[in-house]
Amino acid sequence: MATVAATLPFRAPTYLGPATFLTPSAAGARFPDRPQQRRLVAGGRHRELARIQAEAISGGGGVARRDPMVPPYNVLITGSTKAERVESATNDLKKEFGEQHVWGTVCDVREGKDVKALVDYARGKLQYIDIWINNAGSNAYSYKPLVETSDEALMEVITTNTLGLMICCREAINMMWNQPRGGHIFNIDGAGSDGRPTPRFAAYGATKRSVVHLTKSLQAELQMNEVNNVVVHNLSPGMVTTDLLMSGATTKQAKFFINILAEPPDVVADYLVPNVRAIPTNQSMKPTYIRFLTGLKAYSRIFSRLAFGARRNKYVVED
């Protein structure tokens, strides 16, 4: 299990899959007016994801007990991937943003010692992290009823999505709490976060439901302990056309909703990136839940499809 930490922005299939923070390849909302920022790539799976995230975020946060955040801003993003892709993604980012602005390393988020080592790595390269995005996640590329799911697949999903997220949050909070600049942590949600059923990937949905609860609990703990320089947020990319999402397009219902609701990474990034950046830019220290695919947007698209046949066969041929 690898991880890419960089200035990437958002994980993959938030509706059907694990994490690659805004997912694969190289698509990328461009913000040429943004000051160059340093990025750390610590593990992620897709190039697209890496590129988008690398261009995506530039903002700090304002809080007591810390120095003002001024450019360049440092962003760390974790992502589920194969180790060999870390080097590939990092090299692509370095070519575009320069050797001195991008770093990558492998980290198993399920292992506390690995995440502690990631923090040390980040400090060694960047000194501090302004924004930490927890994008690592997995559904073990398994789309089948729970009764047919193997022990190995269940362990991968649960340890990555739940245990891994808890460990990363713990280490991110400890790091940011003790750094003069403070920081913002974003936890990526996914299918099941809203409590709706997720047939064929029930375990994944259950772990993503827990993401929302964990974020709320951490927000309460920080307030209880009067920590005013660290904030934990939720981030929802919606359905993103990643390899993982598309691998689940094997049923009539899945194809229907992917065509109607899914969007490519660059489209999602165009919306999410400015909203994420606005939080530190506005010196806001209030917890937020940033959503790309809102209920209103989803229902309007479904209506357009039923009434006018909109987006039929947009990404996959329907039966």
Supply the pLDDT for residue 78. 92
Nearest in space to 90 (alpha carbons), one of 23, 41, 26: 41
The pTM is what? 0.81
Cβ-contact 9, 96 below 8 angstroms: no
pLDDT of residue 276: 84
pLDDT on residue 61: 37
Structure tokens at 214: 């964990």
Asked if the bond preceding 13 is cis, omega within 30° of 0, the reply is: no
pLDDT score at 86: 78
What domains can you pick out in the chain, each with its CATH number?
39-250+263-293 (3.40.50.720)
pLDDT at 256: 96
Q: Could you give the angle at the alpha carbon of 154 between the alpha carbons of 149 and 158, nearest 5°?
A: 150
How long is the chain? Answer: 319
What pLDDT sits at residue 18? 29
Q: Which SS3 state, helix, strand or coil, does residue 305 take?
A: helix
DSSP state of 270: H
Residue 161: which of 52, 79, 83 has the closest Cα? 79
Contact 134/165 with Cβ under 8 angstroms? yes
Number of H helices and number of E strands within the chain?
A: 10, 7
User: Quick check: helix, strand or coil at residue 258?
Assistant: helix
Query: How is residue 263 annotated by DSSP?
Result: B
**Res 23: pLDDT:** 26
DSSP string, 125-171: HHS--SEEEE-----TT--S-GGG--HHHHHHHHIIIIIHHHHHHHH
Judge residue 42's burial from the number of C-beta atoms within 10 Å of its C-beta, 0-12 exposed, 13-18 middle, 19 or more buried.
Answer: buried
Residue 183 in 3-state DSSP?
strand
Per-residue model confidence as pLDDT tens for the chain (319 residues): 444 444 333 332 222 222 223 222 222 233 333 344 455 554 433 344 444 444 433 333 333 345 666 667 788 999 866 677 778 888 888 888 888 889 999 999 999 999 999 999 999 999 889 899 999 989 998 899 999 999 999 999 999 999 999 999 999 999 999 988 899 999 999 999 999 999 999 999 999 999 999 999 999 999 999 998 999 999 999 999 988 889 889 999 999 999 999 999 889 989 988 888 888 888 888 999 999 999 999 999 999 999 999 999 999 999 8
End-to-end CA distance of the chain: 36
User: Which residues lie closer than 8 Å to 295 by C-beta, 6 or more apart?
Assistant: none
Q: Which residue has the tokens 């927000």?
A: 219
Active site annotation includes 204: yes
Pull the structure tokens for residue 244.
């993982």
Q: Which residues pair with 39 in a beta bridge?
A: 75, 102
Active-site residue identified among 204, 271, 299, 315: 204
Q: Give the integer Cα–Cα distance in Å for 136 and 189.
A: 11
pLDDT of residue 10: 30
C-alpha distance from residue 301 to each of 124, 259, 298 (Å)? 47, 10, 5
